[in-house]
Amino acid sequence: MKITLKLILSLIIIVAVVAFSFSYRQALQEEERLKNDLERRANIIADSLKISIEPLLSPDNIRHLQRIVDKFSNRERLVGIAVHDIRENLVLASTKLEPRLEESPKALAHNIQEVERLSAEHGEFITIGKEQWHAYSVPLTTEEKVSHVLTLFHDAAYIQERVNRIWINSFWRALVQAFLIALATFIIIYLNVMTPIKKATEWIKKIRQGEVPDKMDSQGQILLGPLAKEITKMAKSLQAARLSAEEEARLRHTTESLWTPERLKEFVRNKLQGRSLFVVSDREPYMHIKKEKTIECIVPASGLVTALEPILKACGGTWIAEGSGSADREMVDKDDKLKVPPDEPQYILRRIWVEKELEDGFYSGFSNEGLWPLCHIAHTRPIFRAKDWSAYSAVNQKFAKAVLQEIEGIAEPCILIQDYHFALLPKMIKAKRADARVAIFWHIPWPNAESFGICPWQKELLQGMLGADVAGFHTQFHCNNFIETVDRFLESRIDYERFTVNRENHTTLIKPFPISIDFGSSNGFSSEGKEGKENLLKKHGIQAEFLGVGVDRLDYTKGIIERFRAVEHLMEAYPEFQGKFTFAELGAPTRTMIAKYKEFMDEIVKEAERVNARFRNKNWQPILFLVKHHSHAEILPFYKAADVCLVTSLHDGMNLVAKEYVASREDERGTLILSQFTGAARELRDALIVNPYDIGQMAKAIKIALEMPEEEQTEKMKRMRNILKEHNVYRWASELVNELAQVRLDDVSGKEAKG
């Protein structure tokens, strides 16, 4: 309250000073204007009288002159007129004026002297008794010599009265302004500072006491908006820390072990003993794009980013990735680096620039027209071109150069290489830095040896990957396929008991690391993201009792067309769901520069339109197809409101959408329908497992999910959530780092790796 009073008093003082300054200037200007106006009028009257009086300057004409003087003395504010000789003797004056002049005989002395000296008109403000007058004198000539002085006396008191009125008006104006400003300031401070602070204090108090308050509205606050955002983040961190501590205490009591960011951070510190951690991927975790005149920072849609971001946030390090945003170059320093996340920097992002020609061959060509369909058995013919292979090799070499620059001078650095874009990179790094600990994690499936043999450069790819100390896959099945592929195409010594490959005196451990998500951040502790299905569908003019959801990149491996046909079959086989069930597909466009993907996207759109055309009515349609890059905040309400989530990939490494859906359901409701060809199907066994090629089976699974009793839903969801809570991304990272930390670097001289 003291601060408020000080602020209000300061404003009042400032207003008073400003008002006084303007009033002072206005009073001076008004006084000057009135004086000039008075002198101008005196000048006009004096000139007129001079013409009339000069010819009559003789003792014989005194009476006639007296009448003229008395007649002119009746003008506004004109007190009277007098004529003096040059010796300052009064010759004649207005009848009412003469007695007043006798009281102050010396009042005009200066005026008369100035007129005589200058032989010109002269005006002056004088005091007669207690009155303020203006005396304006002009010379009168006789025989071309100044012989007399004509003086006009005006009452000047009104000038001071006008100035005083200005000061009085200014005082009241300043008083009213100060009052209104003080009142407005108090209201603004009360509504936008004191009240929000009071609410924030109560909000933080509830958090401190362990309660779960409503979300603080930072956008609705004018002055404290940014502070409210930071308070919200701080409170969430406090709540998360409390929940983590409570969970740790519970787990210690039950001898369980839950992996948290804090535990991973401590684990990495102990295991790596201060060695730096480097992550290499094609997709960057943060992208800067130009949007009109501003630059916006976005998180690209990527399961890889979803999995790796929490690890670097917890442990720090450097993420090396290709810069692909339209404003990426503008946001980095001279070394092409910046600290991320933007709001709370926790690690370094190093951006690599790849020329357009190389990018087309590396990413669109060899990676996504060659390796992607080769590894996903989705009946799409892989395309291999020699120029694409050259581009792929060149980009791998460019990244190898960047990694070597980053690890220069660092002893035994730990490098985690991500995915099929960089199969050659491990060997390139090891060739220059044998002391580096290198792991490659393959995020997509690994096909059987016969399928992989299609690739003309299968040996070079395998040799590149075997440069790593650890090669990780999602499932044991993919590890088996990789070992068999190596056995088929390369001369090597394979230890099936320890699952290692020894080639050219270097040993690589092959092991499954089922990737997961940050269960805690997906779950959250507030009501954020909770929006009923009615409101979600109403935005699109749809009314439905049941809601299904699918979240995918628009890729031909995701089984989206089969999913739409399953919805169509549901409407045919079980017509009771017509008008009641809507399936929302949140699709993110991807790889649109590749012809196959353009064709596939057109096919999906046509299929959705065809199914909707068959069954649509006035306020309902079976498929809601939303095509754009959806943020997590946009996806979360659909996860929380959906009665069923469909993940029907034709072939997938893991699929984190399935895990995100389960993690988001803190209400322990909803049902997951999961393709048997996903890695997640081996962990989330309480999902309804389907063959995505069997349209009838998928339609029946949707019916079962929608009719499943709440108790059964809760039992299944609870078991799946417990699995994700225990097998979260921090545990995945700990296992990968643990294996990397155990690598014996003397393997390069011929010794085997520690298993």
Backbone angles phi, psi at 236, to 5 degrees: -65, -40
pLDDT (tens digit per residue) in 380-430: 899 999 999 999 999 999 999 999 999 999 988 999 999 999 999 999 999
Residue range 730-743, pLDDT digits in tens = 999 999 999 988 88
Do the beta carbons of residue 584 and residue 624 sit within 8 Å? Answer: yes
Are 322 and 351 in contact, with CB atoms under 8 Å apart? yes
For residue 509, count other CB atoms closer than 10 A to its CB: 22
pLDDT for residue 633: 86
Q: How far apart are CA 636 and CA 197, in angstroms?
A: 30
Q: What is the CATH number of domain 2-161?
A: 3.30.450.20
Q: For 88-135, how does the pLDDT look when each residue is reduced to its tens digit (9 = 90+)?
A: 778 788 877 777 777 676 767 777 777 777 778 888 888 877 788 888
436-460 average pLDDT score:
95
What architecture (CATH level 2) is domain 273-354+397-512? 3-Layer(aba) Sandwich (3.40)
**Separation CA 594–CA 301 (nearest Å):** 18
Number of other residues whose CB lies within 10 A of the CB of residue 101: 19
Domain boundary assignment for the chain: 2-161, 227-257, 273-354+397-512, 526-727
**Cβ-Cβ contacts under 8 Å for 123 (sequence gap 6 or more):** 39, 42, 43, 134, 135, 136, 137
Cα 588 from Cα 626, distance rounded (Å): 8
Q: 0.75 cut: is pTM over it?
A: no
* Domains 273-354+397-512 and 526-727 are alike in CATH topology: yes
Quick one: tokens of 473? 């896959």
Segment 569-628, tens digit of pLDDT: 999 999 999 999 999 999 988 888 888 889 999 999 999 999 999 999 989 999 999 998
Query: Could you tell me the CA-to-CA distances from 325 to 39, 103, 221, 378, 587 in Å, in that order?
Result: 76, 95, 32, 30, 20
More confident: 519 or 221: 519
Q: How much is the pLDDT for 485? A: 97
Residue 660: name the closest of 651, 650, 674 by CA: 674
Per the model's pLDDT, the better-predicted residue between 65 and 328 turns out to be 328
- 526-727: CATH class: alpha beta
